[in-house]
Amino acid sequence: MAFADLVSELKGDFPRLSPFLAQKFVNRAWSEIRDSDNWSFLEGQATLQVPAVVNTGTISCTQFSATITGDATATTAWTPLLTGTPPFVASTNAAGQALIGTGYQIRWLNGPLYSVIASDSGSPVMTLTLDRIVSEKSGSGIAYQAFRAYYGAPATDWLNWLTIVNQAQGYPISGRRLNGSQAQLNRIDPQRTATGDPWFLFSLYADVNGMPVREMWCTSAAGPISRRRIRCHRVSRRMCFLSAQGSTAASGRPARGASPVIRQTGSWRQRFTGRISTVRSRVRAGCWHWRKRRIPRCARLSR
């Protein structure tokens, strides 16, 4: 049913209801329905592009500067990546702000990861702008590694991953491996030097649009890693508002086999309500026990 029809039906039942309140009530009811179960229309699929490591050529950097410069060999390797998938330089939003998690990261001397947010595409050398100033010492002729370690949300209504499958290597990533913290990753691999296929996703931070960014581990290697496309199953955000006159509420069935990661509001509310009732009954029983058992005894002792 279209959004306008839902509002009209509600106003038909309550003629004096403001049209703005009617829209708010419809959106609120729609959000509660989405929260009530793991509906099939909330799920979808996406693909994570895991490019090969680039380490051709060398770079030069200046401490406390936000730019680095590649030599002619590195520039030759970077140039075709500017228009590749994923792009070498991070994409931007409507305001022109870089979206971390859409482009490559670069590191050198076992230092931290920097995200590439701009390039001058100069010739014969290219200068890259990083997401923050360089903390390493100044130098030239430095070996580097450029790869994709950060992955942003695939859509604006994205909530969480249900499962990720590495089809080429034949293994899934699911459960707690999808929701690690930076504290856990720092204990495991503080220098991010582990090599091999990716097995975990760790929360990083939110990008400029407020969407979460995850760090995939492990992806760095001393040698090249072959390019991979990893298939993912995702779930959309629960909160969704109908606004356009032509908006239609989606229909679907509960996805009973879904991961417990998204079993949030509906089942949680039922369990929590049941626990509150149990606690209240125990408290009342304890108070009754105190009045009937303890107080008379205390009264006898005070006499």
Beta partners for 142? 59
Residue 181 lies in a domain: yes
Q: Which of 131, 119, 132, 137 is nearest to 77 (CA)?
A: 119
Do 140 and 82 share a structural domain? yes
* pLDDT, greater one: 193 or 244: 193
Question: What pLDDT shows up at residue 272?
Answer: 46
pLDDT category at 230 given cuts 50, 70, 90 is: low
- Are the beta carbons of 75 and 163 closer than 8 angstroms? no
Residue 19 lies in a domain: yes
Residue 254 lies in a domain: no
For residue range 172-186, list pLDDT tens digits in order.
888 889 889 999 999
What Å distances lie between residue 181 and 49, 167, 237, 281, CA to CA? 22, 25, 21, 38
Tally helices (H) and strands (E) across the chain: 6, 14
Give CA–CA dist 26/47, Å, rounded.
34
Do 49 and 30 share a structural domain? no
Residue 257 lies in a domain: no
Give CA–CA dist 214/236, Å, rounded.
16
Give CA–CA dist 247/252, Å, rounded.
16
User: Of the given ranges (47-51, 154-158, 185-189, 243-247), which has the lowest mean pLDDT?
Assistant: 243-247
Beta partners for 217? 200
pLDDT category at 204 given cuts 50, 70, 90 is: very high
Do 286 and 141 share a structural domain? no
Do 103 and 21 share a structural domain? no
Residue 155 lies in a domain: yes
- Are the beta carbons of 153 and 117 closer than 8 angstroms? no
pLDDT category at 109 given cuts 50, 70, 90 is: confident
pLDDT category at 166 given cuts 50, 70, 90 is: confident
Do 302 and 183 share a structural domain? no
pLDDT at 239 over 50: no
For residue range 209-221, list pLDDT tens digits in order.
989 999 999 864 4
3-state secondary structure of 26: helix
Do 180 and 102 share a structural domain? yes
Residue-range definition of the domain harbouring residue 274: 264-303
Residue 169 lies in a domain: yes
Tell me how many domains the chain contains. Answer: 3
Give CA–CA dist 15/11, Å, rounded.
5
Do 164 and 20 share a structural domain? no
Model's pTM, two decimal places?
Answer: 0.72
Do 111 and 19 share a structural domain? no
Angle at CA of residue 68, ends 63 and 69, nearest 5°: 130
Do 169 and 301 share a structural domain? no
For residue range 240-291, list pLDDT tens digits in order.
555 544 555 555 555 544 433 333 334 444 444 455 455 455 545 554 444 4
Q: Rg of the chain's alpha carbons, rounded to an integer?
A: 27
pLDDT at 145 over 50: yes
- Are the beta carbons of 103 and 118 closer than 8 angstroms? no
Structure tokens at 273: 């309500």
Q: How far is CA 158 from the centre of its chain?
A: 8
Average pLDDT estimate for 120-124: 77
Do 123 and 16 share a structural domain? no
What angle do helix axes 265-289 and 19-36 make, rounded to 10 degrees?
80
Q: Parallel, antiparallel, or unpaired: how do β-strands 126-130 and 139-142 relate?
A: unpaired
Give CA–CA dist 211/157, Å, rounded.
9
Give CA–CA dist 155/277, Å, rounded.
40
Question: What pLDDT shows up at residue 288?
Answer: 44
Do 128 and 270 share a structural domain? no
Q: Is 95 exposed, middle or buried (0-12, 13-18, 19+ CB in 10 A)?
A: exposed
Residue 143 lies in a domain: yes
User: Of the given ranges (91-100, 142-151, 169-178, 200-209), which has the lowest mean pLDDT?
Assistant: 169-178
Question: What pLDDT shows up at residue 208?
Answer: 92
pLDDT category at 35 given cuts 50, 70, 90 is: confident
Do 51 and 162 share a structural domain? yes
Residue 127 lies in a domain: yes
